[in-house]
Structure 1
Amino acid sequence: MERSSSFLAHIAAHQGSIILIDKPRGPSSHQVAAWVREITGVSSVGHTGTLDPPVSGVLVILLGRAVRLTTILHQDDKEYVALLRLQGDVSDAELAEVIEHFTGRIYQRPPKRSAVKRALRIREIHELEMLGRDGRLVLFRVKCDSGTYIRSLCHHIGMACGVGGAMVELRRTRSGPFSEKDCVTLHTLRDAVEKARAGDDTYLRKIIRSPLEALHGFPRIQMKESAADAICHGARLSSRGVVSHDTFQMEDLVVMLAGDDFIGIGEALVSSSRIVPGEKGLVVAPRLVMQDIGVYPAVWKAHKPKREKS
């Protein structure tokens, strides 16, 4: 497996990578991640947005340094298709009216079987659409904040209808910018690795994705390569190191790039309208660094504290 291992090791050793798996019903998300680790041979593997064993669909698997993005990508919006079974008869008009009331901000408490603290939380339902129904079975699509419990949503819709209800089946169709059409099965991944083992890594390269794809929509800032090593040491980016930038506001998360290289993610200290490339002023504080120290030339000088006069 020299060639496939070499390619995957290269990915893991640089900026990491992403594989989009169509999780089957049955195994846990942790088990799927473990299988990806076994198939690829990459030791550092994680995932974003846990799917319960009975749930299928989009599972974003992070390899190598991309695991550092876990906490950020966990916040991505999700989209699901769910099957609800009502426990009594409800007219189409009444059901449509109830569903409409659940669009927007809702209160939820995690189910008893959940691994997190059962504190009341607020989540936003961005879109809620009934796709069809067959008697008491209702198929609907929901786009929502990360951390929304669809099982609880089904239960509450049933209660609002006055008859009760329960989720029968659930599939995640989108996570952040990725849809189910972007995913591959575990069997497809294994086949691609086997082909790479035989000397053809074309299929494997099509499956491997850049972490930057997961950050689609984040504003970006281009810096000079001469500023990159300082950022890797934890220094804040100055306007003097800025080449170009997108529009963003103070405290926004910003993707920091040096050419095509993904340096990391930082928090904007000022709005982009106040940045004047080449001038003084700190503009971004690094929050997550993707590169190693020493990859870029160290042309900066560390600040030395002044000695006190005796």
Structure 2
Amino acid sequence: MSFEYLLPYESVPHKYVVKSEEPTDPQYGFEPLKRPLAYYIDCGMVNLDKPSGPTSHEVASWVKKVLGLEKTGHGGTLDPHVTGILPVALGPATKVVKALLSAGKEYICLMYLHEEIPEEKIRNVLNIFTAQLYQRPPLKSSVARRLRMRTIYYTQLLEVKNQFALFRVGCEAGTYIRKLCFDIGEALLCGAHMAELRRSRTAEFREDDTLCTLQDLNDAIKIYREEKDASYLRKLISPMEKAVQHWKKIYIRDSAVDAIAHGAGLAVAGVLYLEKSIERHESVAIMTQKGELVAFGESLLSTSAILKNDHGICAKPTRVFMKRGLYPHWNKEAKVITP
């Protein structure tokens, strides 16, 4: 994808500054891709290709049934007739889907114009709508019909044929493309409506080799149960850390992990390196050196203040993901789990 068609977080590269250095102990925790299978599934997400017909909730429920889980959750509702990327979080990882709300989404839309309009005119109007817009959700929607502001990050006209226009749109979560088509039709003075829609991206969940159908997932679990081969299943499940790639992060010492897992605040002394641009009261992801998500947190200090101080609490956890006991407790040994 060219620079012109990047979601906002992609145009700001991650830059880290080091506060301290310390090796990680390989006997505690796991690199996300090397977790034992049961734990890997509980900390996983499926990049699902939603078919037309069922609701997003029904699709997530089918995933739950196929994998034999107690719960699943999805990262952004798609209308029943809309297809495409539907990230489904598995088991305890359902708590991570809120991270996707701030990343932005991309759609491919087929719009039907009520009259034939020159291609250049359509492109010019799309450019006008590449901005912050006021939207009121349509009558058939899952949210209250209150006026709200949403941002269109980019648009790209792909093809025009007769009265059909195919375009790509990158937008803020919660944008109604059906309403966008209606507004474009009003601006063109001809009227328009959405004919078909496919979500092509949610944050780092894309139409790549991890994208799978319900049938793919069913085949993978069948192969595992009958042949004890988990390689295909692991290929279709991504670690939950994929959902926070766009978040600002603080990486911590092994000795600080279990305290966070018990709900304690993150002490400045526990920080090894962190994002260069963290501000006070900003949401952050607290990570181990192995790349495991420990918790979502609220930063109580900016990056510069964390680097200057040696004492005090710099972040408080708001949602904990790390299981207790995987890393050393402050007064007892951690459990060592082998893959």
User: What TM-score do the two structures reach when normalised by structure 2?
Assistant: 0.82
Point out the more displaced range, 106-115 or 217-226: 217-226
Shift of 1:249: 2.0
Point out the more displaced range, 154-163 or 89-98: 89-98
Determine the structure 1 residue equivalent to 2:229: 200
Shift of 1:106: 0.6
Is the 1:241–1:278 Cα contact (8 Å) retained in structure 2? no
Determine the structure 2 residue equivalent to 1:188: 216
Determine the structure 1 residue equivalent to 2:282: 252
1:279-298 matched pairs, under 5 angstroms: 279-298=310-329
Structure with the bigger RCO (C-alpha within 8 Å, sep 6+) is 2
Mark the runs of 5 or more structure 2 residues left unpaired by the alignment.
1-35, 332-339
Q: Distance in 1 between the 2:75 and 2:56 partners? A: 9
What letter corresponds to residue 285 of structure 2 in structure 1? Answer: V
Larger radius of gyration: 1
Determine the structure 2 residue equivalent to 1:167: 194
Q: Distance in 2 between the 1:232 and 1:206 partners? A: 28
What letter corresponds to residue 238 of structure 2 in structure 1? Answer: R
Asked if 1:149 corresponds to 2:179, the answer is no
Q: Distance in 1 between the 2:114 and 2:215 partners? A: 38
What letter corresponds to residue 233 of structure 1 in structure 2? Answer: H
Change (3 A) 1:96 1:262: closer
Residue 96 (structure 1) aligned to one of 100, 123, 145: 123
Residue 136 (structure 1) aligned to one of 148, 153, 163: 163
Is the 1:242–1:277 Cα contact (8 Å) retained in structure 2? no
What letter corresponds to residue 91 of structure 1 in structure 2? Answer: P
How many residue pairs are counted as aligned between the two chains? Answer: 293
Shift of 1:247: 1.6
Is the 1:9–1:42 Cα contact (8 Å) retained in structure 2? no
Q: Distance in 2 between the 1:186 and 1:120 partners? A: 36
Q: Deviations over 1:54-111 (max 9, x none)?
A: 0000000000121011222233311000011111232223222211110010110000
Q: Distance in 1 between the 2:308 and 2:264 partners? A: 17
1:60-139 matched pairs, under 5 angstroms: 60-139=87-166
Is the 1:76–1:176 Cα contact (8 Å) retained in structure 2? yes
User: What TM-score do the two structures reach when normalised by structure 1?
Assistant: 0.89
Task: Give the 3-state SS of the residue equivalent to 2:70 in structure 1.
Answer: coil
Q: Distance in 2 between the 1:211 and 1:120 partners? A: 33
Residue 269 (structure 1) aligned to one of 300, 320, 323: 300
Q: Deviations over 1:193-232 (max 9, x none)?
A: 1111121111011111111111112222221222223222
What letter corresponds to residue 152 of structure 2 in structure 1? Answer: I
Q: Distance in 2 between the 1:204 and 1:194 partners? A: 9
Asked if 1:9 corresponds to 2:38, the answer is yes
Determine the structure 2 residue equivalent to 1:306: none
Residue 51 (structure 1) aligned to one of 69, 78, 84: 78
What letter corresponds to residue 256 of structure 1 in structure 2? Answer: I
Determine the structure 2 residue equivalent to 1:304: none
Shift of 1:8: 5.3
Is the 2:104–2:171 Cα contact (8 Å) retained in structure 1? yes
Is the 1:8–1:42 Cα contact (8 Å) retained in structure 2? no
Is the 1:74–1:146 Cα contact (8 Å) retained in structure 2? yes
Determine the structure 2 residue equivalent to 1:38: 65
Change (3 A) 1:8 1:118: farther
What letter corresponds to residue 232 of structure 2 in structure 1? Answer: Y
Shift of 1:18: 0.5
Determine the structure 2 residue equivalent to 1:218: 247
